[in-house]
């Protein structure tokens, strides 16, 4: 198969090796008209690029969110868009648990304090934390990741679960051990922990913004490992400053990685990570091999296992 695939971002070395066994791999668009497929993690794929790439057949997302791809243009121009929605479920769900524990137990704050010689006694009162056990968790979006997270939190910590997802039927929620909430505000209202797992679309942009923060308990914490733009960062800053919520952790931002002048980074009750939810050896291996195998398969004339449109 004499096909050319554009790849400029890191994917697992074994996936790259497999791709090179079947295709010519390029890392620039200097000859975009010769490209048969694009494999991406974070780059933007525009209508103009698709129109220039006359041979382009496949746009393959290494991961879940396809918000950097002009899906409407891809559909109109007959491009196959595929993604890998199941390969990083464990890693992102575990990351959420880690961020909850970090906020509840002040782990990164304690580490910095020890390194700065701030503590003159063990177990300083300023580092008294909370247990996850028995808390109420609001799951915003009940897709693969939050279902996995729900299982971890139920079985490991005995939490109660509120679920907000317009596509979740009441009987499904009951079967999953969740309370189905009719509104976002209802799900958040009595939650100790709120975690987001929805795609970034026109419908979810600024989903958590403005008056929504009035629905939080002042003791609640917020975790966003979904996409930047779902949480309005200015409004989150105001909510933290005005103590509408206690703390927050974001693995995703509108500008990635977040710049030093992002005002959220000035707040002691905020934890930031640079979009590493799916960055484990295991997830990158699974995702890399799947996206390469699927790209090759579609280039050979087969239908994708996970079409995005």
Confirm whether 227 is a catalytic residue. yes
**How far is C-alpha 31 from the geometric centre of its chain's CA atoms?**
32
Cα(86)–Cα(64) distance, integer angstroms: 8
Is the CA virtual torsion 206, 68, 257, 283 positive or negative?
positive
Q: Which two tokens stand for residue 295?
A: 């790209």
Cα(163)–Cα(221) distance, integer angstroms: 16
Annotated catalytic residue: which of 14, 33, 256, 282? 256
Find the length of the chain: 309
Cα(56)–Cα(59) distance, integer angstroms: 8
3-state secondary structure of 200: coil
For the chain, the maximum distance between any two Cα atoms, rounded to a whole number of angstroms, is 67
Annotated catalytic residue: which of 275, 286, 290, 294? 275
3-state secondary structure of 224: strand
Annotated catalytic residue: which of 12, 41, 62, 227? 227
306 burial class (0-12, 13-18, 19+ CB within 10 angstroms)? middle
Contact 163, 187 (CB under 8 A): yes
Cα(131)–Cα(127) distance, integer angstroms: 13
Cα(231)–Cα(286) distance, integer angstroms: 29
3-state secondary structure of 97: helix
Cα(252)–Cα(276) distance, integer angstroms: 9
Using alpha carbons only, how large is the chain's radius of gyration in Å? 21
Confirm whether 22 is a catalytic residue. no
Confirm whether 256 is a catalytic residue. yes
Of 92, 89, 113, the C-alpha closest to 223 is 92
Active site residues: 227, 256, 275
């Amino acid at each position: 198969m004499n096909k050319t695939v554009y790849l400029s971002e890191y994917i697992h070395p074994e996936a790259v090796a497999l791709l090179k066994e079947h295709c010519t791999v390029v890392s620039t668009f200097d000859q975009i008209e010769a490209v048969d497929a694009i494999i991406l993690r974070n780059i933007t794929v525009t209508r103009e690029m698709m129109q220039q790439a006359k041979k382009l057949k496949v746009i393959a997302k290494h991961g879940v969110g396809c918000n950097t791809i002009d899906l409407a243009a891809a559909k109109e121009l007959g491009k196959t868009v595929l993604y890998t929605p199941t390969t990083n479920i464990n890693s992102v769900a575990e990351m959420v648990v880690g961020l909850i524990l970090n906020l509840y137990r002040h782990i990164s704050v304690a580490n910095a304090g020890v390194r700065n010689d701030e503590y003159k006694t063990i177990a300083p009162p300023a580092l008294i934390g909370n247990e996850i056990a028995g808390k109420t968790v609001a799951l915003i979006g009940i897709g693969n990741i939050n279902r996995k997270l729900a299982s971890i939190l139920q079985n490991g910590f005995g939490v109660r679960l509120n679920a907000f997802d317009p596509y979740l039927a009441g009987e499904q929620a009951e079967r999953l051990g969740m309370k189905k909430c009719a509104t976002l505000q209802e799900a958040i209202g009595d939650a100790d922990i709120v975690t987001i797992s929805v795609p970034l679309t026109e419908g979810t942009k600024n989903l958590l913004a403005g008056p929504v923060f009035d629905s939080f308990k002042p003791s609640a914490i917020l975790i966003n490992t979904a996409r930047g733009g779902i949480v309005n960062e200015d409004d989150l800053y105001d909510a933290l400053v005005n103590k509408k919520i206690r703390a927050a952790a974001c693995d995703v931002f509108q500008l990635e990685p977040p710049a030093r002048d992002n005002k959220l980074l000035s707040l002691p009750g905020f934890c930031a990570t640079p979009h590493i939810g799916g960055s484990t050896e295991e997830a990158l291996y699974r995702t890399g091999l799947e996206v390469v195998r699927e790209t090759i398969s579609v280039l050979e004339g087969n239908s994708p296992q996970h079409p995005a449109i």
